[in-house]
Chains A and B, each alone.
Chain A
Amino acid sequence: ILNVEQSPQSLHVQEGDSTNFTCSFPSSNFYALHWYRWETAKSPEALFVMTLNGDEKKKGRISATLNTKEGYSYLYIKGSQPEDSATYLCAFIRGFQKLVFGTGTRLLVSP
């Protein structure tokens, strides 16, 4: 059974704060790691698909890094805004396209 762990479980920050979350996954037989953002009452939306050790990806104020040898990925949000409030999910693929999701980090950004 694959274990994908995310921390923290929840986070409450003020507008303008920068924040980061961690996703830990098994380091053996790595295939890919996905990050998704899931806003309340909306569909989960892909942020990043990461496949190579040392990958760094960026989309606006959000960026992610990947370390496949030690089995972790960080997601960073610079200058958080209220519209960043959502649950951030990471998902690990070992093979056969099967995603195993973590439990997510719930972010609340107050104005």
Chain B
Amino acid sequence: EAGVAQSPRYKIIEKRQSVAFWCNPISGHATLYWYQQILGQGPKLLIQFQNNGVVDDSQLPKDRFSAERLKGVDSTLKIQPAKLEDSAVYLCASSSGGDNEQFFGPGTRLTVL
């Protein structure tokens, strides 16, 4: 079974630039999550999709972050414009829902200079 795919794996940009990350979840998983993991902290949920609808985006900084999951399959997360404090690992995960385990992608390590 193919796992959760993410790209790119690494990205270095300057502040005020834009960046986009892509995620393809495990086939058949209805629930997709984007997490931000800042060094020394646990992953923080940014947004959760159920199919192509948003379930929770309460911790998404909506002035600069946006995410979409068209057709309820793959998803993109965008930051525009980036700030220094956005430097983090961005993890995508998917699950079949409920209290089931989440399957994570390898993450994208973003460095904002």
Contacts and interface: CB of A to CB of B under 8 A. Distances in A.
Interface of A: 4, 31-32, 34, 36, 41-46, 49, 51, 89, 91, 93, 96-104
Contacts, number: 57
A34 B101 contact: yes
Given A43-B4, A43-B106, 4 more contacts: A51-B99, A91-B42, A93-B99, A98-B56
Nearest to A48: B101
Nearest to B58: A98
B101 A97 contact: no
A43 B105 contact: yes
A102 B56 contact: no
A103 B56 CA distance: 21
B42 A97 contact: no
Could you say which of B33, B42, B48, B104 has the most chain A C-beta atoms within 10 Å of its C-beta?
A: B42
A101 B104 contact: no
A101 B42 contact: yes
Which of A42, A45, A46 is most buried by chain B, counting CB atoms within 10 A of its CB?
A: A46
Interface string B1-28: 0011000000000000000000000000
Given A4-B42, A103-B42, A97 B106 contact: no
B101 A101 contact: no
18 contacts: A4-B42, A31-B99, A42-B106, A43-B4, A43-B91, A44-B43, A46-B101, A46-B102, A46-B103, A49-B99, A97-B95, A97-B98, A99-B33, A99-B45, A101-B43, A101-B44, A102-B42, A103-B40
A42 B44 CA distance: 18
A97 to B, nearest CB: 6
Contacts of B104: 36, 43-45
Nearest to B9: A41
A97 B55 contact: yes
Contact of B100 (A43, A49, A89): A49
Interface string B33-76: 10100001111110010000001100000000000000000000
B84 to A, nearest CB: 21
